[in-house]
Amino acid sequence: MSSIQGLFPPGTDLSLVQGIPFRCRPGCGLCCYATPGVGPEELPGLIKAAPSLPMLGAPSDHLRIRSRPGGGACCALSTTRCTVYPSRPSPCRRFPIHTHLGVRPQLSLVLSCPGVSLTGILGKAGDLPRTEETEGLETELSAVASTLRSTPTEALLRRTAHRLEALIRSSSRQGRWEEREPLQRDLGSSLPLPQPGDFPPSGVPGMDEPLENLPLFFEEGKGVLGLRQGNSGYQVLQFSEEGGEEDRLGEFPVPTYPPVLDEEARGLLNGYLRYLLRRDQFWFLAYGTLRDERDRTLREIAVSTLRQAGAHVVVRAKVRASLKGRAQEILGAPALEEGIRAFDADLLDQPTFGTAF
């Protein structure tokens, strides 16, 4: 791993991708319900591979591969296989690594990807194994390193540092600032878990939102599914590559109180929340809220973000269990894992005070 560390700018934090095995699951295709950006240097290879591949934008601007309308997949996907795989653009080469530029470049994993193993890493202690090894992520790490080399990384970090200094000054004057590290330790040792007032959590798109905006997840045997707020619960929709009329698999009640978790599931939830606390993206999300609001302190914002995240995870775990006809009263670790997978990308998609890709 030390040789891989050498590919990255000094100070890059790789600890959240180490010790977590990854293996892309054949037949999944979840990450291809997207419109990946195409760099100018990638365009000739892509055109050679697929001359009539539909694009969005202009070559001088932010060019993207189009997705099929009505919630369909990227136009290069065919029966869950990428037809331009050797020429796929860099966002596809980097996935499932999420990169955040805040006070430093930090890499973490999109835990919604079913190829990322959660076993053993989000246990009771929430500690990642003490290893510098990565397993199965070598190509993706090289792609991230290459993106960082072609990005004005230092300038973006400097710009964010200046904005953060201004935010620290103003929120300190208002008594709303706290240093991250002690706060992170504090919250990690006494994790804010979802409370009855956090249910039902808000933020799942309603019936008038385009299908492209729905949170998606991969369900074994059913493919790519999406969640939408219906009249009496969450609707689960089955997506198809071609887009268009989606199949509604059912509408399931959303718990209005915290579901009961068994011990293993509680350990997994704690581990997930600790993983969030270690992500710079989590803190830069909180800094953005601190800037936009006038009343709450950073501590209050961080606590409520963790509680909301926990509420989303357990609600989605319950809905996925109901989808399988297992509406059990007590949620176990397998259901909780499915809740994490159905939620994590939503959090990463939220705008950050820094830069993310």
95 part of the interface to ligand SF4, by CB under 6 A: yes
Could you tell me which of 107, 106, 110, 105 has the C-alpha nearest to residue 152? Answer: 105
Cβ proximity to ligand SF4, 25 vs 291, nearer residue: 25
84 part of the interface to ligand SF4, by CB under 6 A: yes
113 part of the interface to ligand SF4, by CB under 6 A: yes
128 part of the interface to ligand SF4, by CB under 6 A: no
Cβ proximity to ligand SF4, 68 vs 104, nearer residue: 68
Supply the minimum distance, in Å, between the C-beta of residue 77 and ligand SF4.
4
115 part of the interface to ligand SF4, by CB under 6 A: yes
Between CA 177 and CA 170 the distance in angstroms is: 9
Cβ proximity to ligand SF4, 62 vs 124, nearer residue: 62
77 part of the interface to ligand SF4, by CB under 6 A: yes
Between CA 42 and CA 84 the distance in angstroms is: 12
For residue 22, the SS3 value is strand
Please pick, from the candidates 7, 25, 42, 243, the single residue that binds ligand SF4 as defined by CB under 6 A: 25
96 part of the interface to ligand SF4, by CB under 6 A: yes
Helix (H) or strand (E) holding 69: none
- What are the residue ranges of helices labelled H in 39-120? 43-49, 90-94
Structural contact between residues 264 and 332, judged by C-beta atoms closer than 8 angstroms: yes
267 part of the interface to ligand SF4, by CB under 6 A: no
Cβ proximity to ligand SF4, 115 vs 339, nearer residue: 115
88 part of the interface to ligand SF4, by CB under 6 A: yes
How many residues interact with ligand SF4 (rule CB under 6 A)?
Answer: 22
Cβ proximity to ligand SF4, 29 vs 71, nearer residue: 29
Structural contact between residues 204 and 227, judged by C-beta atoms closer than 8 angstroms: yes
Could you tell me which of 312, 92, 352 has the C-alpha nearest to residue 215? Answer: 312
Q: Are strands 260-261 and 105-109 parallel, antiparallel or unpaired?
A: unpaired
The strand pairing partners of 99, in sequence order, are: 107
Between CA 242 and CA 70 the distance in angstroms is: 8
The strand pairing partners of 98, in sequence order, are: 108
For residue 151, the SS3 value is coil
Cβ proximity to ligand SF4, 49 vs 103, nearer residue: 49
Q: Which stretch binds ligand SF4 (CB under 6 A): 56-64, 75-83, 172-180, 257-265?
A: 75-83
Binding site for ligand SF4 (CB under 6 A): 24-25, 28-32, 34, 36, 65, 74, 76-77, 82, 84, 88, 92, 95-96, 113-115
